Amino acid sequence: MSAGIYLHIPFCKSRCSYCDFATDVFKNEETVERYVSALINEIESFEFEARALANVRASAAVDTIYFGGGTPSLLAPQQLEKILNSIYKKFSLMEKIELTMEMNPATVTSETLKSYKSLGVNRASFGAQTFDDAELKRLGRRHSASDARETIELLRGAGFDNVSFDLIAGLPRQTLKDWERNLDEALKLNPEHLSLYLLEIHEGTPLAEQIRSHRQPLPDEDLAGEMYELITRKTCRKGYEQYEISNFSLSGYASKHNSKYWLCEPVYAFGVSAHSFDGNARYANERDTAKYVGLIEANDSAEVFREETNLASEFIFLGLRLSKGINLNEYEKRFGINIKEKYAEDLQRLEELGLIEFVENRLKLTRKGMVYSNEVFTVFV
């Protein structure tokens, strides 16, 4: 079983109103350089033998690397090169790897992208979020719709042939027609991959406070359902395959790295707030950037949380995110549990609500179930 590597780069030019990720507003180059040094220190101090699955050899190869954030595209090419060199020294990599970097519009140039490409970055994922400038302003985004269009042109010019970008449906005051315009704009740009999310309100974010104080309206669940229906219909017509609740790709372009999370495969994560899974346990780093750097400099580790997982349970609610669902025979063979027997009453209720279905010995979410997936997942948590 191959593993993935995730690296968290927290710096952003500004903080978006809906974001609950571990991010910091970019201050100066010294702060970024100190963080990069801490990140490399953490990678070099990693003890693979202690973290690997019992049935996976210590030399198990890595086949995906993912730079997330934050805004990884604020890294200078020289900083990216140093981080990658530390990974190459520590881990055994397969011959062909998927190396993804998240990018925000208006943070890259043609020269920077060519440098990233020459260092092995072969997949770009950038957050367009919406092609409506008024919506971008309400979200606290620094870029414009034209910046997003220009970014994909720059990516193509730099030779990137695996491009993904994000859009968010159900934004405050967004109508079905507004969303359709966004979706049409995205499809015209012909990315290989699309992540199309329904807006989630996270406690502690500026958007949550704006809704609580009635400065922004509460999202309409029925409207969100209509938007989701529009997503699945239009992407299908354009040849995209929906392989996960929020992810759509042209043939052969599903995200290999993100699929590891849904398939419960090992991912070793580095950086502030980075969450790892070794097949047995989940563990996470300090969420505050300054504290993370201090811990690494003092102890070579910033781990603040660790717990053994109930893999049998996680395999269900993570696997159900995938359009293909779960093979019931394979699940019983692996875990010794008959899902239909163990969860009989809950499954009957969910089936009557039209949220799940059984197809050729597979348990899957229905289209409606994908919209209200959290109600299904709570059964297995």
The 3-state DSSP class for residue 175 equals: coil
Query: Within 141-214, where are the H helices?
Result: 145-157, 176-188, 206-212
Residue whose structure tokens are 């191959």: 2
pLDDT, tens digit only, all 381 positions of the chain? 789 999 999 886 655 444 445 455 556 788 899 999 999 999 999 986 555 544 444 446 899 999 998 889 889 999 999 999 999 999 999 989 999 999 988 789 999 999 999 999 999 998 888 888 887 877 777 778 888 899 999 999 999 999 998 998 888 788 999 999 999 999 999 999 999 987 765 565 555 456 566 566 566 677 888 988 999 999 999 999 999 999 999 999 999 999 999 999 999 999 999 999 998 899 999 999 999 999 999 999 999 999 988 999 999 999 999 999 999 999 999 999 999 999 999 999 999 999 999 999 999 999 999 988 989 999 998
Among candidates 171, 325, 193, which has minimal Cα distance to 247? 193
* CB neighbour list of residue 236: distance below 8 Å, 6 or more residues apart: 242
CA dist list (Å): 294 to 19, 29, 35, 305: 25, 17, 10, 17
- Residue 39 near residue 67 (C-beta atoms within 8 A): no
pLDDT of the residue at 48: 61
* Cα-to-chain-centroid distance, residue 189: 21
pLDDT of the residue at 254: 98
Verify cis geometry, omega within 30 degrees of 0, for the bond prior to 70.
Answer: yes
Q: What is the chain's Cα-based Rg? A: 21
pLDDT of the residue at 237: 95
Q: From CA 86, how far away is CA 282, in angstroms rounded?
A: 23
Which 8-state DSSP code applies to residue 156? H
Token pair for 379:
């059964």
- Residue 164 near residue 43 (C-beta atoms within 8 A): no
Residue whose structure tokens are 């890294």: 75
Which 8-state DSSP code applies to residue 311? H
pLDDT of the residue at 105: 84
pLDDT of the residue at 58: 43
- Please give the angle made by the CA atoms of 275, 101 and 304, to the nearest 5 degrees: 15
* Cα-to-chain-centroid distance, residue 83: 20
Structural domains of the chain, ranges and CATH numbers in brackets:
3-262 (3.20.20.70), 315-377 (1.10.10.920)
Classify the C-alpha dihedral 196-197-199-204 as positive or negative. Answer: negative
Q: Whole-model pTM?
A: 0.90
Classify the C-alpha dihedral 317-319-323-324 as positive or negative. Answer: negative
- Residue 17 near residue 59 (C-beta atoms within 8 A): no
The 3-state DSSP class for residue 198 equals: strand
* CB neighbour list of residue 26: distance below 8 Å, 6 or more residues apart: 11, 12, 13, 32, 71, 74
- Beta bridge partners, 169, equal 198
The phi and psi torsions of 277 (rounded to 5 degrees) equal -140, 125
